[in-house]
Amino acid sequence: MDDRLNQPLGGNQMPRFGGPATMMRLPSQPGADGLDACFVGVPLDTGTSNRPGARFGPRAIRAESCLIRPYNMATRAAPFDSLQVADIGDVAINTFHLPKSVDIIEAAYDRIVASGARPLTMGGDHTIVLPILRAMRKRHGPVGLVHVDAHADINDTMFGEKIAHGTPFRRAVEEGLLEGRRVVQIGLRGSGYTAEDFDWPRAQGFRVVQAEECWHRSLAPLMAEVREQLGRGPVYLSFDIDGLDPSVAPGTGTPEIGGLTGIQALEIIRGCRGLDLVGCDLVEVAPAYDHSGNTALTAANLLFEMLCVLPGVVYRN
């Protein structure tokens, strides 16, 4: 191991309930310069339509991440043996002004992307993926997308507004941020505004995998097909925690029954290994509805799993 690489503070150096309140108790630094990957929070929830509170997501995820050890025992991934990783803190959004916040987020990700670091984002509501994808396109061109969610998030407007947590992928298509035939949405379900709600993404070329197709089965075969579909180009992974069943992840703003399991979440993320992931996010954790902390704990572990499948990670096998 290269001893110049940052390491999470170990549980034998400082009790896990002490030490820095960063993601995985990693060192913090003010920007992404010199990093291969960075954890970054976006504490925004002014785009939510129902229960608020995702502004507290990054802090709760960091708190629950204190238990995560550096090696992945299932995949033998050793991300901190080959990548320089740090927690670069939170984006200073304007909590009184959603459109201004979107511009602030885009500018912050312009800087991250320019540094060459791959961002692992802690949301925040799903509005934040639009400015992130805007920044990604400037560097990578239109990207492929793995989108896990109970919802398609392709509404044209919500309450008359173009910018909200249920509209980002409609805007992303309109703005040419995505390659439609390299997009998959997994876990969609529940009730819609119209019976045709999931037809619009299909008409854009997206593969839509509704939750019912996932029930009672491993998603490893699906992910083999997804890797085939997405191929070698750049891919962004956006994971709305409400893609999981509310029994697994109750702490979120718009829960829907009949969702994915924690094991299926691991299969999806581990199934992204080999894709050119240019960034990942985990959004919509709302700690006020998360009485056990399990939602934030799950989110923290899923972010670690995302780190473990980034290009350049070594595997000890």
Chain residues in the site for Mn ion (CB under 5 A): 126, 149-151, 153, 240, 242
Q: How far is the CB of 153 from Mn ion (least distance, A)?
A: 4
Instruction: Specify the residue, 153 or 245, whose C-beta has the smaller distance to Mn ion.
Output: 153
Q: Which two tokens stand for residue 214?
A: 């996932």
Contacts of 221 (CB under 8 A, 6+ apart): none
The nearest distance, CB 84 to Mn ion, in angstroms, is 30
Residue 179: C-alpha distances to residues 54, 137, 146, 222, 242 (Å): 28, 11, 11, 19, 24
Q: Which is nearer to Mn ion, 8 or 201 (CB)?
A: 201
Considering the complex, state which of residue 25 and residue 151 has its C-beta at the smaller distance from Mn ion: 151
> Which tokens is 242 given?
């409400």
CB of 180 to Mn ion, least distance (A): 18
C-alpha span between 305 and 310 (Å, rounded): 9
CA dist 101 and 92 (Å) reads: 8
CB of 65: closest distance to Mn ion in angstroms? 22
> Closer CB to Mn ion, residue 126 or residue 207?
126
Q: Residues 101, 46: contact at Cβ < 8 Å?
A: yes
Rg of the chain on CA atoms, in Å:
18
Q: Is 106 or 153 the residue whose CB approaches Mn ion more closely?
A: 153
Instruction: Tell me how far, at minimum, the Cβ of 11 lies from Mn ion, in Å.
Output: 34
